[in-house]
């Protein structure tokens, strides 16, 4: 009889101390977007939407730098409608690197509505990874 009590006691101890509690990992994804390729522009929007369809509470951030900026410029974007739909969600952030804007001679006023700037796109991605976000480099 005592043998049965010892394993049960250990089980109770583990449950009380939280060793066996299940806590799901938050679904947070940062996409690294540097490509000028319009196929990649479509891919990142599809992937972001797939994450949100899998978990409507997921947090998604797309960080743009390098040569990806045409995706965000009003008169150049081939995916402006897709961006507009994605931007209606509170848990989505589309952030462009201020250094990349300067290097590509693009003013913030040229960007599609809702696009925000961050001082340094690479640092933004490093920060998200430090916070435990998943990291996806967009490429095909």
At 16-74, the pLDDT tens digits run 666 556 677 899 999 999 999 999 999 999 999 999 999 999 999 999 999 999 999 99
Domains and CATH numbers, the chain: 25-137 (3.40.1260.10)
Query: CA 78 to CA 118: how far, in whole Å?
Result: 23
With contact defined as beta carbons under 8 Å apart, do 34 and 67 qualify? yes
**Residue 64: strand pairing partners:** 33, 96
Give the mean pLDDT of the chain: 91
Alpha carbon distance 119, 100 (integer Å): 9
6 pLDDT above the threshold of 70: no
| pLDDT at residue 3 tops 80 | no
The pLDDT of 96-102, averaged and rounded, is 98
- pTM score above 0.85: no
């Amino acid at each position: 009889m005592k043998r049965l009590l010892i394993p049960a006691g250990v089980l109770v101890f583990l449950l009380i101390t939280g060793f066996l509690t299940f806590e799901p990992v938050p679904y947070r994804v940062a996409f690294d977007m540097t490509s000028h390729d319009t196929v990649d522009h479509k891919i990142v929007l599809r992937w972001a939407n797939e994450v949100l369809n899998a978990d409507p509470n997921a947090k998604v951030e797309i960080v743009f730098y390098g040569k990806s900026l045409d995706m965000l410029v009003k008169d150049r974007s081939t995916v402006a409608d897709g961006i507009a739909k994605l931007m209606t969600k509170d848990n989505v952030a589309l952030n462009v690197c201020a250094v990349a804007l300067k290097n590509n001679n693009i003013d913030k006023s040229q960007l599609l509505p809702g696009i925000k700037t961050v001082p340094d796109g690479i640092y933004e991605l490093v920060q998200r990874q430090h916070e435990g976000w998943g990291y996806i480099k967009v490429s095909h």
